[in-house]
Structure 1
Amino acid sequence: MSSDAVTTDAPTVPTLTDVLLDEIAVFRGRPRSVEELSGGLTNRNYKVTTDEGSYVVRVSSEETGALAINRDHEYRNSVIAAAAGVGAPVIAHLPDRHVMVVGFIDGHTFADHDFAVPGTIERVAASCRALHAAPPFVNDFNMFEIQRRYLGVVQENGYRLPDGYLDLEPHVATLRRALAVRDEGTVPCNNDLLAANFIDDGSKIWLIDYEYSGNNDPCFELGNIWSECHLDLDQLEALVTAYYGRLLRNKLARAQLQGLMSKYGWTLWASIQQATSPIDFDFWSWGMEKYESAVAIFRSARFDELLDEVQRAD
């Protein structure tokens, strides 16, 4: 990524105004109520209710290139995910205003502990399979490439790097070679399924927020869920088993290694956000939690075992 695409100034996410709402056909001339929703580390989300229903308006910053977010890709992939029946319906898109409107899903937003509820992991796997069976997304997402891009941003701008971060690069190269042995291609993935991006309406579990979406190894999706939702290894095994219909040891190892790579890569996302985001959030501590978890696995005997297991026929 070229340095002229990066800014060290904190990007400003616009607020939602009546003028902006009047530019959107579904709201124009209608009485409405507006409620800002919590969450959203790169945008602001608003619930807008009219006499015809409720919607979520996502207002984004222009300055997201350093984080590898492409808003056109997000929109087009959101349409594909909606057609697959697991993403919220897309109502409107105003690219010049950095706005997307999706249907509001009335349901329970997950927290990490929801994965302990019996049957939940199996339902999550079913939603992931539905998304992964959709037509291809318009772009690819590869954490090895994203991590290199993030690293360039961090080094060019003098942002913080955790102690010993670069010392792990040889391990990453070894990990990438091991994953290539049984590479089975890519499928449409959300790539950012933290707990808050699952919504249970009582009938199915929806997958929301396609900022980082792209075609990817399905085991990255599973491993990233393991990392982001703080699942234990038994829960990851249950997720992999439910997804594939039976326990495949090489897929379990693959999900763990992809989850490890997600931890290593998202650490740099946190460094960039710590340096540039106006949001009052401790991105550095968030990133260091991931980094320390990654270091523990990279430096353990288990890492070599996983490298062996992922290359074997199950």
Structure 2
Amino acid sequence: MGATSNICDYATEAPRITSSSSSISDVPYSRLTVQTSLSLPEMTPRIIELCKELFKNWSKQDDSCFHVETVSGGITNLLLKVSVKAESGDTESVTVRLYGPNTDYVINRERELHAIKYLSAAGFGAKLLAVFANGTVQSFINARTLVPADMRIPNLAAQIAKELHRFHQVEIPGSKEPQLWNDIFKFYEKASVLEFVDGEKQKKYRTISFTEIHDELVELKELTGRLNSPVVYAHNDLLCGNIMANDEQGKLHFIDFEYGSYNYRGFDIGNHFNEYAGYDCDYSLYPGKDEQYHFFKHYLQPDKPHMVSVKDLEALYVETNAYMLASHIFWALWALIQAKMSPIDFDYLEYFFLRYNEFKKQKGGCLSLAQSFLQGS
């Protein structure tokens, strides 16, 4: 964790966010917006202005004391590290997270901010320090971001499983209703009525059968509902880019809870396994049964993984691989909406076909596995 624990003590009495969410009413708020389309040199003065407004102990610092650098730039958010050198010579750092343009179409920001307070109290992610018009300021985590190959390392996989078990124990006040099918059907409604100005995109979009997708959703919802997957507070986007490791301390950090919600345990694990494919989406890297069992043992009984029964391993294997299918459809429909709304240079339309085709490829085997399990139980 960066040296930022005292920053909130000096925060300005900034305007409070106009929201019913009590979890964000006690942090500074600014109405400033920082355009993600700007280059880093163009963005830097605006970031400095923002930080000076939000944090009183930085308000009189000369601009030359600030250093702004890019931490990462994904296809949803832009993360910046802001470091400030104090008169004492010490350096304080925070992370400024800029929301991607139009991401509110697919992300419930109020739900995210509501959960951060409780997740932070439980030791997950960075501490929320401030909120502004199109992003947040959080404490800086001194750790490296994992790469896809890391998730296959047995010791790291065991650590991730244990941390996910702990994550799933967190209680977030409010409704405990699982959001998977609510979110998927909302995505479906938005994705099925799009129109693209680009003729080639529109032509490709028209090849999609939304009647077929709807039938797939109904069938999958009915089948997974019979598996009785426990409802937990789930991360829902546990790819390598959202896991950080401090190798010296042997500590993992889960970050970015923007898709977090109460959801089915099987979805969170199945979605994580899909991310073994990495940024190249090589789904041949999806973990085999032995790798999955290794993960399950440390997830189900973190302190005594060798004590997990074969019956419990088999049940979680079926559950996870059924919900893995839901993960593919979730992100496929998400991609269609992004293809229309996002200005980011990424082929979201192609990504839809990649995920939906993988769903169809895996569907037969996973559904047969689930049906056989249900018949035998």
With the length of structure 2 as denominator, give the TM-score of the two structures. 0.72
> Shift in Å at residue 20 of structure 1?
2.0
> How many aligned residue pairs are there?
298
Aligned to 1:83: 121
Q: CA deviation at 1:232?
A: 1.7
1:309 and 2:373 equivalent?
yes
The 2-side partners of 1:311 and 1:237 are apart by 22
Structure 1 residues 129 and 102: alpha-carbon distance in aligned structure 2, compared to 1, 3 A threshold: same
User: Which residue type is aligned with residue 193 of structure 2?
Assistant: E
1:232 maps to 287
* Residue 262 (structure 2) pairs with residue 215 (structure 1): yes
- Inter-partner Cα distance in structure 1 for 2:206 and 2:230: 32
**Quick one: which amino acid aligns to residue 236 of structure 1?**
Q
Whichever residue aligns with residue 341 of structure 2, its letter is: T
Partner of 1:261: 326
Normalised by the length of structure 1, the TM-score is 0.85
Aligned equivalent of 1:72: 110
The match for 1:189 among 234, 245, 249 is 234
Mapped contact 1:250–1:312 kept (Cα < 8 A): no
Q: What amino acid maps onto 2:294 in structure 1?
A: A
Alignment of 1:33-44 (within 5 A): 33-44=67-78
Shift of 1:248: 2.2
> Matches of 2:345 and 2:58 in 1, distance apart?
31
* Cα displacement string for residues 250-274 of structure 1 (whole angstroms, at most 9, x for unaligned residues): 2111111111101012101111112
How many Å apart are 1:73 and its aligned residue?
Answer: 1.9
Give secondary structure in 1 for the equivalent of 2:154: coil
Displacement of 1:125: 0.7
Q: Which is further off, 17-26 or 265-274?
A: 17-26
Deviation at 1:238, TM superposition (A): 2.3
Question: Which structure 1 residue ranges, 4+ long, deviate > 6 Å from structure 2?
Answer: none
- Equivalent residue for 2:52, pick from 19, 22, 27: 22
Residue range with higher mean Cα deviation, 267-276 or 232-241: 232-241
After TM superposition, the structure 1 stretch with the greater mean CA deviation from structure 2, 188-197 or 131-140, is 131-140
Cα offset for 1:243?
0.9
State the Cα distance separating 1:312 from its structure 2 match.
5.8
Question: What is the CA–CA distance in structure 2 between the aligned matches of 1:302 and 1:196, rounded to whole Å?
Answer: 27
Show structure 2 runs of 5+ residues with no match: 1-34, 86-90, 197-204, 278-285, 302-307
In structure 1, runs of 5+ residues without a counterpart are 1-11
Alignment-derived partner of residue 336 in structure 2: 271
Query: Over the residues paired in the alignment, what is the CA RMSD in angstroms?
Result: 2.4
Higher relative contact order (CA 8 A, sep 6+): 1
- Residues 103, 342 of structure 2: 8 Å contact kept: no
Provide the C-alpha distance between the structure 1 equivalents of 2:253 and 2:161, rounded to a whole number of angstroms: 11
Q: Distance in 2 between matches of 1:161 and 1:250?
A: 39
Distance 2:371 2:112 in 1: 33
* Displacement after TM superposition at 1:90 (Å): 1.6
> Which stretch shows the higher mean deviation, 39-48 or 254-263?
39-48
Relative to structure 1, the CA distance from residue 104 to residue 287 in structure 2 (aligned partners, 3 Å threshold; closer, same or farther) is farther
CA contact (8 A) 2:102 2:341 kept: no
Offset, 1:301: 4.2
Moved more, 220-229 or 278-287: 278-287
CA deviation after TM superposition for structure 1 residue 182, in Å: 4.0
Q: Residue 146 of structure 1 aligns to which amino acid in structure 2?
A: D
1:106-185 paired onto structure 2 within 5 Å: 106-136=142-172, 138=174, 142-158=179-195, 160=205, 163-164=208-209, 166-185=211-230
Identity %: 23
Find the aligned partners of 2:124 and 2:374 in 1 and give their Cα distance.
29
Please give the per-residue CA displacement for 1:167-214, whole angstroms capped at 9, x wherever unaligned. 243343232222223425421111111110010112221111011111
1:266 aligned partner, one-letter code = W
Look up the equivalent residue of 2:59 and give its one-letter code.
R
Structure 1 residues 22, 223: CA separation in 2 closer, same or farther (over 3 Å shift)? same
Deviation readout 1:212-239 (Å, 9 max, x if unpaired): 1111112211011011222322333322
- Do the aligned residues in 2 keep the contact of 1:87 with 1:207 (CA within 8 Å)? yes
Distance in 1 of aligned mates of 2:338 and 2:121 = 32
Residue of structure 2 in register with 1:3 after alignment: none
